[in-house]
Structure 1
Amino acid sequence: MSATIAAIATPPGVGGLGVIRLSGDDAAAIADRVFSPVSGKSLREMRGYTAAYGTVFNENGRIDDAVALVFTAPKSYTGENVVELSCHGGVYLLQKVLSALYAAGAVPAQPGEFTRRAFLNGKMTLTQVESIPETIHAQGEQALHAAAMLREGALFREIQAVNSALLRICAQLSAWIDYPDEEIEDVDRADFEKIIAESTEKLTRLKNGFEQGRVLREGVATAIVGKPNVGKSTL
């Protein structure tokens, strides 16, 4: 049974909307202690992928109007029961709602903990996890496209293919060495050398692609130098 964590999911600052996310076995039960839907139906009774409009409150009374989104395990971002409360995006207001959730039994989420739980619960691969900051910090179309490819598992599939090929020849070599008296297919050196060469080429290409991707993500530090009044500022 995992502890139910809570955190503000939207960037800090004032805005029209602010979202607080809960994840864990008791997400709906804890949210029910601070959220009163106008329908009168508790969040625990709601189906996944449904929303409810209502009021967020604490021991002192009403805090704000809100919309609660319910996601049931395993069909959620983290693979756990998840509730997202969308309130008005005031800094103090969101902190007050978060404090009410802590008082109701939630614990503070550590940085990146929602995504960590998604990874541990098999909702995404490590490369897909790495794509999240790439997507958030993309500064152009190419960087955004590269992040999307990473998120869709293109890198994972290529690495997995190399890994599978190398494991296959390792298994064949081990069997050939350990069980010489068995009827095991002879080692084909030419085939092994071809697989190793192809794997090396793929990994080298991926390494070079990483360097290109870093340029897309971070840009290139550039200095424009020259004599005064020759157009540096225009450039």
Structure 2
Amino acid sequence: MAEPVTAGRRAGIALGLAGMLVPLTVAAGTPAQAAHCTSWTGPYQRSVEKFLGRPVDGRQSTADCTVIRAFQTRHGISPNIGYAGPITWGVMSIMKAQKAAGRTPNKAGKCPVNRGRIACVDLTRQLSWIQDGRKLRFGPVPVRTGRNGHETRTGSSRVYWRNLNHWSTLYDVRMPYSQFFDGGQAFHSISGSVWSPPGSHGCVNMRKADARTYWGLLGTGDDVFVYGRKPGT
């Protein structure tokens, strides 16, 4: 016999759907504060509690919600109501994979290192770094690549044009430290969180300090290699 759908379960289901469907803010500044902190237990409660160093009991508490909500606000997750849903856990999963890469992001040897200076982009882990041959020159750093339908193209290419203060006439947005390597796709900084879904329109979004360092290390003609597949694309 199927379990009856109570009002409480309906509310929990609604929160889960909201977490999957409501896009995350990528605008500058702090996202709008939610009206309340939810008391509902999310489907990723235990995993989120463990990630944030909370007591792992799989049950939402006021303290849990406060800490989860602070994480959501810091990383541009909306609605930021402290619900341990799929978007929040997805961001945390990417951060875990990035931390695990440590100082050996190319341990699997998927980015070619026989070309001198090269910028590597791993779509699966949402990481990028710069190598000189086998020597890691900078990174790895977190990036935000193309969303579903606007995926960052894989394969070999080269930086062919750079514009320090580029303005996108297509999307009407600033793209500081732009370094184009494949059609309209470029490394550039953004003002929002690089961890926030759904992703870019194909560019490799970076934090400002990282994009500035890439600007100083790369030049026209330097190699770029993109591989893997972004989760959700």
Same fold (TM over 0.5): no
> TM-score with structure 2 length normalisation?
0.23
Q: Where is the helix percentage greater, Structure 1 or Structure 2?
A: 1
Taking structure 1 as the reference length, the TM-score comes to 0.23
